Structure 1
Amino acid sequence: MLTPDIAVDLVNDSLHVVIVLVVLLVLPSLIVGVIVSLVQAATQINEQTLSFLPRLLVTLATIALAGHWITGMLMDFCIDIFQRAATLVG
């Protein structure tokens, strides 16, 4: 039986997984974006490619380096959800 406590635990675990994955993917791009913006402000070069391409490359590198860990984390979460669902049914 799905009680409010179990539902809150499911939502809490889901939010934890989402926050970890978003921070992992967005934080490196954010740091590179700030660095590139500082360089652009110092040199007064306002080229759109200069601000987009480094962030894209860092995001792709992050996915390439952490992709195995991300996939494992999502698979573990999915297995945990299905195990919980099996116990809730009876």
Structure 2
Amino acid sequence: MTEAQVLDIMRDAFYNVIVCSAPMLLISLVVGLIISIFQTVTSIQEQTLTFVPKIISIFIALLIFGSFIMRTLVTFITNLWSNFNVYIK
């Protein structure tokens, strides 16, 4: 296995991590921003008000984007294992 192959695998792995985590991170960011604006306007500083909607929104995002994440990861692993004979030379 050459250094270029290792770097290609690492690049693909990092890309897949970013692509798979992006929907949940963006939804969490938007929900957190909306909640912080709501807390600023109403002057409520309850900590559970921040976490519960984020957890619920992440759960819903996993239900919506779960198949996309699974397909992305399965494609990556399939490509990795199908080229395994090239890596061991």
RMSD across aligned C-alpha pairs, in angstroms?
1.1
One-letter code of the match for 1:28?
I
Q: Percent identity?
A: 29
CA distance in 2, matches of 1:39, 1:89: 56
CA distance in 1, matches of 2:87, 2:13: 17
Whether 2:58 is the aligned partner of 1:68: answer no
- By relative contact order (CA 8 Å, sep 6+), the higher-ranking structure is 2
Q: Which residue of 2 aligns with 1:37?
A: 36
One-letter code of the match for 2:71?
G
Q: Which residue of 1 aligns with 2:87?
A: 88
Q: Which residue of 2 aligns with 1:28?
A: 27
TM-score by length of 2: 0.92
| Stretches of structure 2 lacking an aligned partner (at least 5 in a row) | none
One-letter code of the match for 2:78?
I
TM-score by length of 1: 0.91
C-alpha distance after superposition, 1:36-67 (max 9, x if no partner): 00110111011122111111111000000011
| Stretches of structure 1 lacking an aligned partner (at least 5 in a row) | none
The total of aligned residue pairs comes to 89
CA distance in 2, matches of 1:74, 1:21: 8
4+ residue segments displaced more than 6 Å: none
